[in-house]
Amino acid sequence: MISIASRGPLWRCDNATRLLPATVAKRTFSTSPSWRLHTKEMEEETLGRLKVDKGRLMRDIHHTCQWGTGERWGDAPTETGMSRLALSDSDKEARAWFVRTTEEFGCEVTIDSMGNIFAVRPGLNNDQPPTFVGSHLDTQPSGGRYDGILGVHAGVEMLKVLNDNWVETQYPVGVVNWTNEEGARFPKSMVSSGVWSGDIPLEDAHNLKEVHPGNATMASELKRIGYLGDTPCSHESMPMAAHFELHIEQGPLLEIANKKIGVVTGVQAYKWLTVTVKGRDTHTGTTDLKSRADALLTASKMILHSHKLATANNALASTGILYLKPGSTNTVPGEVSFSLDIRSPNDATVTRMLSLITTDFPRIAAGENISGLNDGCTSALPLTVSIREDFNSPATTFHPRCIEAVGQAAHATLGPDSKNLVMEMTSGAGHDSVYASKRCPTSMVFVPCREGVSHNPSEFCKEEDCAAGAQVLLQSVLRFDRGRGE
């Protein structure tokens, strides 16, 4: 646990009661003079005057993108992607910035046993759990500057706006950086919020090994970079009154509909599978086609079949990882493992997809002609297949009160034409809000990203859209705080 002692007020007053920065870093929230602004007392007009600083938000985002800068896609200095894998040295640098910055704003910072970082700004009633803003700083190996990063920075900007305007919240508010949300380096997405919610055992998470060859585990890397905290990773140790998350949509729906804000009502269901096909290694030059048990050829048919099943069942399917052995040009692959991600807004559809896959893949391995996949090109010898379920995320429905807060904030932010600029939607991707919602009221704010592209270096969100999303996030938290206790 990292905390800071009280060091006096963050601001001082001159003779005109104008707020001026002080030289110390923590304010005395619990003994606020009557002239300070309280959320409970705010009229709608007063609430609307609290504005995020677009330039400051974007400067902070691009400043931290020096740690883990990825592939360049344009000529401008900021036109690069990101490669900041969880618990890497670049992730350590971004974490240090987050801790240092939030401490400077008078937050108490806590690090738990999964490396989740909780920065809490005190309110007037600190015996109650904070209302949190949350997302993640880790990225895909070839990701962009906005996925997760925008959500954390919008939370930091929220703290700055509250301090700039000397706002006293009724209850504490905080920002959380969740560890390894992407699941790119350690193959279980949202793993640390899953441990926090009690759905994933701590030992299983600590023992996760990195995807690419190496002996590193989550526990060993947390220790190496200095973020293996003493506080237990649990909702009992770090309770939340609510969890709000700003995120780029990662899809094209908002852009296609010319909308500016998505009010997220839930997240679709998905499963991650590992499929292993075993045949026989043989020499490519001496083994005729009819005498082969080609694991790669068979795996290719399974991947194609998964897409046919997805089309027929209004679902989604994708393969992102593939390993083959022995990995030699002149040897027919004898073993292939590949990932399979299946998704749908409905749990029943994902369950049906899994049932069809577990029925059809063994038939494909045995050489049966499933939906015309053979087409005269098949291994004459039978192969075997095993299917392992690695991860399951049921469909999530967010809390009506949080959805209402986001909706009200969106309409207030976008003004008279807001009816044409806001839409309710379901998230196609998983987020830490999925696990947060199991233990506290939760909702999300979506903003459009160019062409719906994400998990790609060219991922892009307009500055005005980043700021609008951050403004909605700020207003959502203040509205929720104002209504707590009623």
Residue 427 sits in the same domain as residue 473? yes
Closest among 167, 136, 139 to 153, alpha carbons compared = 136
Residue 239 sits in the same domain as residue 308? no
Residue 283 sits in the same domain as residue 372? yes
Phi, psi (5° rounding) for residue 473? Answer: -60, -50
Residue 254 sits in the same domain as residue 319? no
Residue 106 sits in the same domain as residue 243? yes
β-pair type (173-177, 261-267): unpaired
**Is 90 exceeded by the pLDDT of residue 155?**
yes
Residue 28: predicted pLDDT: 44
Residue 225 sits in the same domain as residue 239? yes
Over residues 128-143, the pLDDT tens digits come to: 999 999 999 999 999 9
> What CATH number is associated with residue 477?
3.40.630.10
- Average pLDDT (90-107) is 97
Residue 108 sits in the same domain as residue 230? yes
**Is the residue at 71 inside a domain?**
yes
Residue 27: predicted pLDDT: 43
Over residues 184-210, the pLDDT tens digits come to: 999 999 999 999 999 999 999 999 999
Residue 429: predicted pLDDT: 87
**Is the residue at 329 inside a domain?**
yes
Residue 48: predicted pLDDT: 87
**Is 90 exceeded by the pLDDT of residue 61?**
yes
- Average pLDDT (143-147) is 98
- Decide: 154 and 473 in contact? Cβ < 8 Å: yes
Residue 355 sits in the same domain as residue 416? no
**Is 70 exceeded by the pLDDT of residue 24?**
no
Residue 239 sits in the same domain as residue 304? no
Percent of the chain with pLDDT over 70: 91
Single residue among 376, 393, 410 that ends a domain in this structure:
393
42 vs 455, which has greater pLDDT? 455
**Is 60 exceeded by the pLDDT of residue 18?**
no
Residue 254 sits in the same domain as residue 324? no
Mapping DSSP onto H, E and C, the string for the chain reads CCCCCCCCCCEEECCCCCEEECCCCCCCHHHCCCCCEEHHHCCHHHHHCCCCCHHHHHHHHHHHCCCCEEEECCCCCCCEEECCCCCCHHHHHHHHHHHHHHHHCCCEEEEECCCCEEEEECCCCCCCCCEEEEECCCCCCCECCCCCHHHHHHHHHHHHHHHHCCEECCCCEEEEECCCCCCCCCCCCCHHHHHHHCCCCHHHHHCCECCCCCCCEHHHHHHHHCCCCCECCCCCCCCCCEEEEEEECCCCHHHHCCCCEEEEEEECEEEEEEEEEECCCEECCCCCHHHCCCHHHHHHHHHHHHHHHHHHCCCEEECCCEEEECCCCCEECCEEEEEEEEEECCHHHHHHHHHHHHHHHHHHHCCCCCCCCCCCCCCCCCCEEEEEEEEEECCEECCHHHHHHHHHHHHHHHHHHHHHCEEEEEECCCCHHHHHCCCCCEEEEEECCHHHCCCCCCCCCCHHHHHHHHHHHHHHHHHHHHHCCC
Single residue among 377, 393, 409 that ends a domain in this structure:
393
**Is the residue at 5 inside a domain?**
no
**Is the residue at 314 inside a domain?**
yes
**Is the residue at 6 inside a domain?**
no
Over residues 159-187, the pLDDT tens digits come to: 999 999 999 999 999 999 999 999 999 99
Residue 43: predicted pLDDT: 84
Number of domains, the chain: 2
**Is 90 exceeded by the pLDDT of residue 371?**
no
**Is 60 exceeded by the pLDDT of residue 34?**
no
> What CATH number is associated with residue 315?
3.30.70.360
Residue 373: predicted pLDDT: 60
Residue 377: predicted pLDDT: 64
Residue 430: predicted pLDDT: 87
Range from 201-210, 296-305, 368-377 carrying the lowest mean pLDDT:
368-377
Residue 426 sits in the same domain as residue 284? no
Residue 17: predicted pLDDT: 30
Percent of the chain with pLDDT over 90: 83
Domain of residue 468 covers 11-268+395-483
Question: Mean pLDDT for the chain?
Answer: 91
**Is the residue at 95 inside a domain?**
yes
Single residue among 373, 393, 413 that ends a domain in this structure:
393
Q: How confident is the model at residue 32 (pLDDT cuts 50, 70, 90)?
A: very low
**Is 50 exceeded by the pLDDT of residue 5?**
no
Residue 257 sits in the same domain as residue 286? no
**Is the residue at 250 inside a domain?**
yes
- Average pLDDT (458-472) is 98
**Is the residue at 2 inside a domain?**
no
